A and B are shown apart, each in its own frame.
Chain A
Amino acid sequence: MGIITISREFGSGGETIARFLAEKTHFLLVNKEIIIQGLAEHGIKKTKERLEDLVGGEEEDPDGRYYIEAMHDYIYDLAIRNDLIILGRGGSILFHDYPPALHVKLIAQFTFRVQRAMKLYDLKSKTAIKLIKEQDRDKRQYYREVFNVNWTNLRSYDLVLNTEKTDLEDAADIIANAYRIHAEPREIKNGPRGVDIEDRLFISPADAEADQFMHPSEEEFAHMLDFYRIRWEYEPKTFLLEWDSEGNVIEAFSPDYYLPDQDLYIELTTQKPKQAWRKNRKIRRMADLYPDINIRLIDKKGFESLLRKHSIDHDEGEES
């Protein structure tokens, strides 16, 4: 069984790319429609329109859980007899432990995705922005509820493709070629060239963890916001800060979080004060250029105190 999984940010052209890829590879495309149809043949019907709605509610929905489990079984069944392209559905996690699988993530900047959604669905910009934010939020929640993972972690993928500058058919070609190389590896080496196994670096899990798309402290902070039921968005907006004489942007800033109910941007830094000067400068510059935007910097000390107050041996502590 050959497996290509495609995870995509809404508006990054995933469906079109997957269709092209299916034509080129002759793999069976497993998308929403195929699954609904396949499960219906087994008499299993989805109780809600969107997959995300099955887990999104305040209360556990047993029908929703059952549907999701059935869907996972169905995909595994298909994989036994077929070569598959799995679009969404958590495919990269389902086949995470299957080394021959190629896991692809399609990304594009927020503004680009908005433009594409406007064109594709004939939407006004405001509606498109709302739609994409909702989709991102729901997807994040789905991945956490069902798989307990952070879907924005790009390191779970073999290939991350930015679809802003690539023709969608070219993107499909890139993936098809990547799969061919991936599935037929050249001679497998024991380790990095010129390095004896004994000499390999030991990297502690904590350090490895720190090297991720989303910094662990950022993830921790997101957990905390979820805990208190505060809605948040991760890096939803980039503010332009500086232009050169020709009008090209030379500095921009994307605060880590936006809390829509508080109308507040939050930037988290765990750098020591001496190293945080760049960030501080950006925030000052932002305050000058965008006086109406509320932004708050949580520095190393502030974040540590937040965690200390919420630490395990202190979980009944006082905090407001």
Chain B
Amino acid sequence: MSYRKPHIEDQLKILLTQEEIEEKVAELGKIISHDYAGKELIIVGVLRGSVYFLVDLSRKMHIPFTVDFISISHYSEQTDSAGVVRITKDLDLSITGRHILIVEDIVDTGLSLGYLLRNLKTRNPADLKVCTLLNVEARRIVEVPVDYKGFDLPNIFVVGYGLDYNEKYRNLQFIAEYSQP
């Protein structure tokens, strides 16, 4: 296997700088802290992309809260026809009667988030809200409520700050548009 040095500049166009993201995350942290003051809040991170955002966001919050994670299987072309989405890592905590904030890195089609909301709703939380760093309305297939959002993006493919392409680029501190070389 030959090692090829990534020509990052060739494929990535920076859309949101580290500073812009930091500023927005701080702002969201403040608003959420205000809205959930005095409430028993569980922040639910959707693995894996949201981890980077969740960590930074939680550090900008000044109210007590609990963190939990959930992961669901995603559609692939190899999934056989009877295949349906399943939870690959469930929440460790019971969410019944608690205030739940789902944290996503990006909401685009709404397919998996829609499934997640339907699933979590059956567990009767006190309320269920969604916070996403990136929102791509142009790709929406299933309407999902987005209560807190960082940035609206057009119909493009992005990487960085938790978002990957074949597991690459997650650790970039900025968000960039990815185009195939």
Contact = CB atoms under 8 A, between A and B. Distances in A.
A259 interface: yes
A9 B71 CA distance: 40
A226 B84 CA distance: 7
Number of chain B interface residues as a range: 35 or more
Nearest to B155: A302
Contacts of B78: 312, 315
B49 interface: yes
Contacts of B132: 320
A230 interface: yes
Name which of A225, A298, A309 has the most chain B CB atoms within 10 A of its CB. Answer: A309
Contact of B49 (A223, A307, A318): A318
Interface in B137-159: 138-144, 155, 157
A144 B77 CA distance: 16
A224 B114 CA distance: 13
A311 B76 contact: yes
A309 B107 CA distance: 12
B181 to A, nearest CB: 14
A306 B136 CA distance: 12
B36 interface: no
Nearest to A297: B138
A314 B168 CA distance: 11
A42 B80 CA distance: 34
Given A259-B141, A305-B157, A313-B166, A320 B46 contact: yes
A320 B157 contact: no
Contacts of B48: 316, 318
Interface residues of A, number: 37
A224 B113 CA distance: 14
B95 interface: no
B33 interface: no
Contact of B82 (A145, A298, A311, A315): A145
Given A223-B75, A320-B46, A320-B112, A228 B140 contact: no
A24 interface: no
A32 interface: no
A226 B81 contact: yes
Given A266-B141, A318-B46, A224 B155 contact: no
Interface string B66-84: 0000010111111111111
Nearest to A148: B81
B164 A317 contact: yes
Contacts of B80: 148
A306 B73 CA distance: 15
Contacts of A226: 81, 83-84
B109 A306 contact: yes
21 contacts: A225-B111, A226-B83, A227-B75, A228-B84, A262-B142, A296-B140, A299-B155, A302-B138, A308-B165, A310-B75, A312-B78, A315-B73, A315-B74, A315-B75, A315-B78, A316-B73, A316-B74, A318-B46, A318-B50, A319-B74, A320-B110
Given A310-B76, A312-B78, A313-B166, 12 more contacts: A226-B84, A259-B141, A259-B142, A305-B139, A305-B157, A310-B74, A312-B76, A314-B76, A315-B75, A316-B71, A318-B163, A319-B111
